[in-house]
């Protein structure tokens, strides 16, 4: 059986060799086409493998947005644990339905160390959760947009294009803004930032962030950052926590 299969292969190889020598273009065409298909599968397979190796989910956001509380809710299902806000916290999160594990990393949001924190962890990012305090978003919009802009325009992040979830937190408080309003506020602020940042880029050549965000021919929208998928959800992490939307998103990206 094995011998006859080997014979078949030898016969085929001889046929192909002869056809190529004789300049039979249809056979050459088929060989080229098959090689291209195989190579494409190989490249996609390798990319997929690399993407699957990244298991980290970075929890980013400004100070007091609720990153650490979200982290403890997700990992320990508790709201009263005290954790460091100066160094990163990290722990495994297992998706109930699939049993897949993600590595959640809660990164401090202090302005001085943001970039350093991002640089130290971005290579592992399978996804990013950007937490916002919906009760103070209007007052803090400049700082929030600035941070989000830094993340989105980071060269490595924009190359990897991990899915990003904007978690509009503290929905239990009064006078909070909803996800739709926050998205609109951010888009407006990012549009302004985009103008000032790209003007500044022409003077200096910042190494980490030189991606132009969105389309030049119209106002900034998160939708224009494709292939990066950006979603907005509402949540709250205090006592009667409501983090279902975040857990659903984690299950999707795992
Ligand atoms: N009411 C309310 N307070 C929250 C919520 N999430 C966080 N907090 C509070 O906001 C403060 C900052 O939270 P923390 O997790 O330390 O924020 P971080 O600096 O982003 O890590 C703490 O006092 C939390 O108890 C929430 O969903 N609702
Ligand atoms: Mg914290």
Q: Is the CB of 173 under 6 A from ligand 1?
A: yes
pLDDT(207) > 60: no
Number of C-alpha atoms within 13 angstroms, CB side, residue 102? 27
Q: Is the CB of 144 under 6 A from ligand 1?
A: no
pLDDT (tens digit, 9 = 90+) per residue, 63-74?
Answer: 999 999 999 999
Domain count, the chain: 2
Domain identity same for 104 and 9: no
Average pLDDT of the chain, as a whole number: 91
Alpha-carbon span 73 to 61, nearest angstrom: 16
pLDDT (tens digit, 9 = 90+) per residue, 109-123?
Answer: 999 999 999 999 999
Domain identity same for 148 and 33: no
Q: Is the CB of 242 under 6 A from ligand 1?
A: no
pLDDT(202) > 70: no
Confidence (pLDDT) at 53: 80
Alpha-carbon span 70 to 73, nearest angstrom: 5
For residue 66, the ligand closest to its alpha carbon is 1
Confidence (pLDDT) at 208: 67
Confidence (pLDDT) at 33: 94
Q: What atom in ligand 1 is closest to the CA of residue 63?
A: 19
Domain identity same for 144 and 27: no
When pLDDT is averaged across residues 118-145 and rounded to a whole number, the result is: 96
Domain identity same for 71 and 33: no
For residue 242, the ligand closest to its alpha carbon is 1
Domain identity same for 109 and 41: no
When pLDDT is averaged across residues 212-225 and rounded to a whole number, the result is: 94
Alpha-carbon span 211 to 194, nearest angstrom: 10
Domain identity same for 150 and 247: yes
Q: Which domain holds residue 66?
A: 54-253
Q: Kindly report the number of other CB atoms within 10 A of residue 197's CB atom.
A: 20
Confidence (pLDDT) at 28: 87
Share of the chain above pLDDT 70, in %: 92
pLDDT (tens digit, 9 = 90+) per residue, 161-187?
Answer: 999 999 999 999 998 999 999 999 999
């Amino acid at each position: 059986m094995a011998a006859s299969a080997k014979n078949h292969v030898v016969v085929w190889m001889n046929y192909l060799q002869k056809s190529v020598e004789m300049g039979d273009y249809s056979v050459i065409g088929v060989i080229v086409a098959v090689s291209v298909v195989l190579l494409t599968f190989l490249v996609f397979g390798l990319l997929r493998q690399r993407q699957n190796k990244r298991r980290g989910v970075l929890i980013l956001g400004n100070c007091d947005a609720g990153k650490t509380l979200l982290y403890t809710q997700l990992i320990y299902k508790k709201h009263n644990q005290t954790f460091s806000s100066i160094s990163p916290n990290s722990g495994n999160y297992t998706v109930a339905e699939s049993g897949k594990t993600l590595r959640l990393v809660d990164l401090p949001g202090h302005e001085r160390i943001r970039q350093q924190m991002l640089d130290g962890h971005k290579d592992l990012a399978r996804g990013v959760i950007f937490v916002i305090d919906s009760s103070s978003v209007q007052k803090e919009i400049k700082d929030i947009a600035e941070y989000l802009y830094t993340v989105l325009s980071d060269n490595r992040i924009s190359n990897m294009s991990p899915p990003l979830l904007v978690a509009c937190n503290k929905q239990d408080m009064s006078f909070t803004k909803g996800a739709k309003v926050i998205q609109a506020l951010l888009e407006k602020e990012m549009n302004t930032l985009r103008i000032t940042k790209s003007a500044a880029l022409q003077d200096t050549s910042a190494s980490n962030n030189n991606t132009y965000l969105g389309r030049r021919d119209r106002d900034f929208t998160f939708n224009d950052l494709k292939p990066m998928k950006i979603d907005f959800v509402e949540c709250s992490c205090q006592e009667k926590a409501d983090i279902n939307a975040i857990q659903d998103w984690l299950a999707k990206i795992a």
